[in-house]
């Protein structure tokens, strides 16, 4: 099985994971909007025994959202969202897709908690695209 690597923005935290992801969900729940500061989380799921830290595990901080099996793990230097073991009891690691440095062999299968999506999300899908900061 091929592996893919991931890292945070400052590079202190790195990991590798088998390119054998079970699920890939885009979660629009209000908690994921908060934890990502964006429209939705993009989370890959893989069994914990297919994941390993390479460097910087001691740099991580974790916050578990009370009452829900949602957590946020992040690098204490740069704040990037990092993988964490799900509190759901599933034995799965949740991998923020944006933290990968290589391409996962799976595509997103669903937008979940769609009814909680940001009020501006539908319009964002139709917004102009630009290769850089737009001029003016």
Which parts of this chain interact with Zn ion (CB under 5 A)? 8, 10, 12, 27, 29, 32, 75, 77-78
Q: Coil, strand, or helix at residue 58?
A: helix
Q: Which is nearer to Zn ion, 122 or 132 (CB)?
A: 122
Instruction: In whole angstroms, give the CA distance from residue 134 to residue 136.
Output: 6
What minimum distance in Å lies between the beta carbon of 111 and Zn ion?
A: 11
Q: Which is nearer to Zn ion, 78 or 118 (CB)?
A: 78
What minimum distance in Å lies between the beta carbon of 11 and Zn ion?
A: 7
Closest CA to 9 of 83, 85, 101: 101
Continuous segment of H or E residues that includes residue 84: strand 84-85
Q: Which is nearer to Zn ion, 10 or 118 (CB)?
A: 10
């Amino acid at each position: 099985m091929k592996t893919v690597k991931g890292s945070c923005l400052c590079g202190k935290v790195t990991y590798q994971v088998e390119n054998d992801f079970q699920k890939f969900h885009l979660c629009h729940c209000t908690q994921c909007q908060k934890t990502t500061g964006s429209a939705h989380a993009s989370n890959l799921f893989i069994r914990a025994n297919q994941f390993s830290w390479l460097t910087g595990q001691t740099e991580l901080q974790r916050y578990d959202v009370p009452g829900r099996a949602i957590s946020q793990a992040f690098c204490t230097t740069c704040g990037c969202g990092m993988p964490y073991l799900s509190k759901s009891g599933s034995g799965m690691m949740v991998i923020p897709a944006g933290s990968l440095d290589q391409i996962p062999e799976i595509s997103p299968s669903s937008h979940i908690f769609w009814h909680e999506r940001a009020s501006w999300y539908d319009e964002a899908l139709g917004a102009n695209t630009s290769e850089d900061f737009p001029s003016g």
